[in-house]
Structure 1
Amino acid sequence: MRSEILRSEASRGDTAARPQTIALVDDDRNILATLSISLQAEGFVTRVYTDSEAALKALLDNPPDLAIFDIKMPRMDGLSLLQALRAQSSLPVIFLTSKDEEPDEALGLAMGADDYITKPFSQRLLVARIRAILRRSELARAPADAAPDESLPETVVRGRLQLDPARHQVSWQDRPVSLTVTEFLILEALAMRPGVVKSRNQLMDAAYSEDVYVDDRTIDSHIKRLRRKFRAVDPEFAAIDTLYGAGYSFTDG
């Protein structure tokens, strides 16, 4: 089934040189229409897809600023779509889930989703979370030759880890590691103070804005994914420590 694209040239909400684009993937046309109209009213451009396979191709060929996936879809569900996308892209993704899909939420976060919203939800909450993730992803989308933000620290070196906050780039033993925006912010919070245990609440504060609320398992899922990504580069990676009941710390020689 071909994808459908709805566009809005409205400029309400945050002003920017280029309207930000949100891709919506759901097999329910009514939900797509409702979400698209609401987001257009906030100044976003929307692209809507009822077919996950068509959506995947479009997301890779012409990436939006953020994507929102429903989990339960025929042929390729939201989790499979995210898995296929993450093999090639760190595009910010929000999942829409039902209250009875909690295991899927945890799996989605472990696979690299940046956030999830449980149905039914308020449009205000959805827009707040979209804007929070887009703010965090702006640096990651900066051109490679753009001048660094002078307010940001220079490249941070912690043993074998190198973090470049101005570019949102990470390397381990001089090998690049591709992280989502949320993963980068969590790692940065840990690496800026090596050996200091950060509680889950502190990591939530570092990775999410004040108007976004997540629970402990969200941070745990991101930590698991961080470890998995670094171990893909170095099977002996063990720089992120767990202090049970307290939180996490970063230590590397």
Structure 2
Amino acid sequence: MNVLMIEDNESVSEMMQMFFLNENWEATFKADGQEGLNAFLDNPEKWDMVTLDLNLPGLDGVSVCREIRKVSATVPVIMLTARDSESDQVIGLEMGADDYVTKPFSPLTLIARIKALHRRAELSKGVVVSDVDAANYDIVTTHFKMNTKTREVYLDDALIQGLTPKEFDLLYTLAKKPRQVFSREQLLEMVWDYQYFGDERTVDAHIKKLRQKIEKVGPQVIQTVWGVGYKFDDSGADS
């Protein structure tokens, strides 16, 4: 795995370098936001993972993440932050980060989250097919088609573009059981593979971005069940 770590704390970078080497991963370290972004833009296809500090000299982490997402909708991004503010974390997720880790953190925790994100990102690599035959799809409703091999999603035969790995997995979790209501806690466990210890706004931030991408091609199929959670329901597409 090729990891780009944009982190201005030298001790953190030195610590993580040892853990990355132990995993036999190649790692590049940049201490400035603009330099880190330039390293990514020089060869976007090279990177399997980006870890990104929120507080950076040159260009802040949120801005770096926004620019990365303009180039790649799929490269996994983990945001590292010393801030304990939920609003900062949610802003990072809304700008396209797939996950965040609050400092101080355990190196083993970060390694585990990198591995979890990488596993899901690998599933997104497939041969794109040109037809929309229902036989090629894992989930098919009157309006909706979803293929887990090609990671393609269609709403009324219009491709929903730019889904991150986490957004795809979240949509799949909801869509494979239409009209079943999932609590935020359930979605955290099922989609993220580990506990967020009650940080339900992680789900809300991803739902918001997912809805924005769905609404670009058709009617909204993710419904809020107030006081409970979310469900997939495309029956309203007929109206």
> Which category describes the TM-score, using the shorter chain as reference length?
0.7 to 0.9
Deviations 1:108-144 (A, max 9, x none): 1122211111111111111111111111111113455
Match of 1:244 among 212, 220, 226: 226
2:28 paired with 1:44? no
**Aligned amino acid, residue 92 of structure 1:** P
**Aligned amino acid, residue 104 of structure 2:** P
CA contact (8 A) 1:196 1:250 kept: yes
Change (3 A) 1:87 1:252: same
TM-fit CA distance, 1:250: 0.9
Kindly report the root-mean-square deviation, in angstroms, between the aligned alpha carbons of the 2 structures: 2.1
Give the secondary structure class of the aligned counterpart of 2:56.
Answer: coil
TM-fit CA distance, 1:193: 1.4
Q: How many Å separate the matches in 2 of 1:199 and 1:70?
A: 30
CA contact (8 A) 2:44 2:72 kept: no
Q: Which has the higher helix share?
A: 2
Q: Which runs of 5+ in 1 are unaligned?
A: 1-19, 146-152
Size of the aligned set, in residue pairs, is 225
CA contact (8 A) 1:185 1:206 kept: no
Give the secondary structure class of the aligned counterpart of 2:11.
Answer: helix
TM-score of the two chains, using structure 2 as the length reference: 0.85
TM-score of the two chains, using structure 1 as the length reference: 0.81
Q: How many Å separate the matches in 1 of 2:79 and 2:173?
A: 24
Match of 1:188 among 161, 167, 172: 172
TM-fit CA distance, 1:164: 1.0
Structure 2 match to 1:79: 62
Match of 2:71 among 82, 88, 91: 88
2:7 paired with 1:26? yes
Q: Which runs of 5+ in 2 are unaligned?
A: 130-135
TM-fit CA distance, 1:205: 2.4
Give the secondary structure class of the aligned counterpart of 1:138.
Answer: helix
CA contact (8 A) 1:170 1:178 kept: no
2:92 paired with 1:111? no
CA contact (8 A) 1:25 1:55 kept: yes
TM-fit CA distance, 1:71: 0.3
Change (3 A) 1:52 1:142: farther
Match of 1:158 among 141, 151, 167: 141
Give the secondary structure class of the aligned counterpart of 2:51.
Answer: strand
Q: Give % identity.
A: 34
